[in-house]
Copies of this chain bind each other. A is one copy, B any other.
């Protein structure tokens, strides 16, 4: 009877997983090709898929089967699958359908006002709606906290990165915040002593940029039989593991951002594509969490593609693609160009060294907001104070401050830490991979990503959600997440220490 309950759960979750794949394709379509006038009916289609999936998940029969199913007689992956089913079920049933509906509406309304408030730098305009979103999020956090046995903030993070806990993250982030000011000063000093960066001169036709992007995707190992590159306003990796759709956006005046954007999304794509085919559409077969996902894009972008080795590979390729930029396309100039450090107000434009400061600021503030220790009316002040402290910058307009990111206005509290956990995890994976396969940097210099991807396939991709992120990191690298490895990577790259 037990295995029967489990088998029936697999069938139910397979259906939900398939609906989620369908929704993934429709999301891609909406962002990449859908005409404007299709929005209303698309929203209807996505909502319907979502509601059907949610009904399946929260149906009494699912709860009964989960209560009936036992680990006994299941193999490791089946047990892990059952555990994931319970986790997903716990998140879904912590909130009533009425609450979810109210919350969805509040987020949509707040996000809409935020789109008006941001360009004006008018935080007060969106404050009342953000207050509603925050109140609802705190209510959700409390409900999930009770259901999952986690602190309210951990319960929020757990939805994005299962297993992420403030108790582990806070010391790592505090260390980095303490390390940064002096280190950043040394990096900027060191940078000043380097030759000036030569900027590539355009225009760069979009057609050529697209071909270059596809060429690099091929170099990294993207399988065009199972995916595509397209264009969208906000680059992303979507679709399904068997049909991975990545997007970028182009600017004729410069190719560098679109190119590195494609490389970044290809890292995400390789993860999706490397998930075990035999566990497709089951909870255990999905990518682990957003932090681990980000580690896979950043290991390709930051660890591999911004390395001197890859710049040596890139140099002749760029010269063959865009004539007349020889000085800009020397390997040394490319490396300097792609690792320029420049403290600024905007997270999405930040370099590798200062990026964590942006995340730490948000991490601290959202904990205070969820914990009730910071009032929303005081958010701009607290934000600006934090920027001063972490990066020494004086914010003069909330447009460049607490209004810059969509996340909170869309109700996504607990997401931000994933970005920097991803960067730190990427450094640790790369160090472990090159220790195990010392030929990786030389291969990257030849445009051969197979040794690196091979290691990731085995140690990360193929594990899907069979382990927690901390356990995947430990199994792959022999120790828990250690931010020291990230700092060593930065010191090597930005100070030239061995």
Chain A residues with CB under 8 Å of chain B are: 15, 18-19, 21-22, 25-26, 29, 33-38, 40-42, 44-45, 48-49, 52, 223-228, 240-243, 280-281
Contact = CB atoms under 8 A, between A and B. Distances in A.
**7 residue pairs, one from A and one from B, having the closest CB atoms:** A38-B243, A37-B226, A37-B225, A41-B242, A18-B48, A22-B45, A36-B225
B15 A228 contact: no
Assembly of this chain: how many copies? 2
Chain A, interface SS category: helix
A17 to B, nearest CB: 9
Contacts of A52: 15, 52
Given A35-B227, A38-B242, 11 more contacts: A18-B45, A21-B41, A22-B22, A22-B26, A25-B45, A34-B243, A35-B226, A38-B226, A38-B240, A41-B241, A41-B242
Contacts of A38: 226, 240, 242-243
B22 A48 contact: yes
A40 B225 contact: no
A242 B35 CA distance: 9
Contact of A48 (B19, B25, B26, B34): B19
27 contacts: A15-B48, A15-B52, A18-B44, A18-B45, A19-B49, A21-B41, A22-B22, A22-B48, A22-B49, A25-B29, A29-B29, A33-B33, A33-B228, A34-B243, A35-B224, A35-B225, A35-B227, A37-B225, A37-B226, A37-B243, A38-B240, A38-B242, A40-B242, A41-B243, A41-B280, A42-B243, A44-B281
Nearest to A40: B242
A40 B49 CA distance: 20
A242 B37 contact: yes
Contacts of A48: 15, 18-19, 22
Contacts of A227: 35
A128 to B, nearest CB: 33
A240 B42 CA distance: 10
- Residue in A42, A45, A225, A281 with the greatest tally of chain B CB atoms within 10 Å: A45
Nearest to A51: B15
A293 to B, nearest CB: 20
A240 B41 contact: yes
Contact of A26 (B25, B37, B228): B25
Nearest to A15: B48
Contacts of A280: 41
A240 B35 CA distance: 12
A37 B243 CA distance: 7
Contacts of A22: 22, 26, 45, 48-49
Contacts of A240: 38, 41
A281 B45 CA distance: 11
A179 B223 CA distance: 57
Contacts of A37: 223, 225-226, 242-243
Contacts of A223: 37
A309 to B, nearest CB: 30
A228 B35 CA distance: 7
A476 B224 CA distance: 50
A55 to B, nearest CB: 11
A472 to B, nearest CB: 25
A52 B19 CA distance: 10
A346 to B, nearest CB: 32
Nearest to A23: B22
Give the residue among A18, A26, A281 with the most B Cβ atoms within 10 A. Answer: A18
A48 B20 CA distance: 11
A49 B15 CA distance: 9
A243 B45 CA distance: 12
Contacts of A19: 48-49
A45 to B, nearest CB: 5
Nearest to A240: B41
Nearest to A42: B243
A266 to B, nearest CB: 15
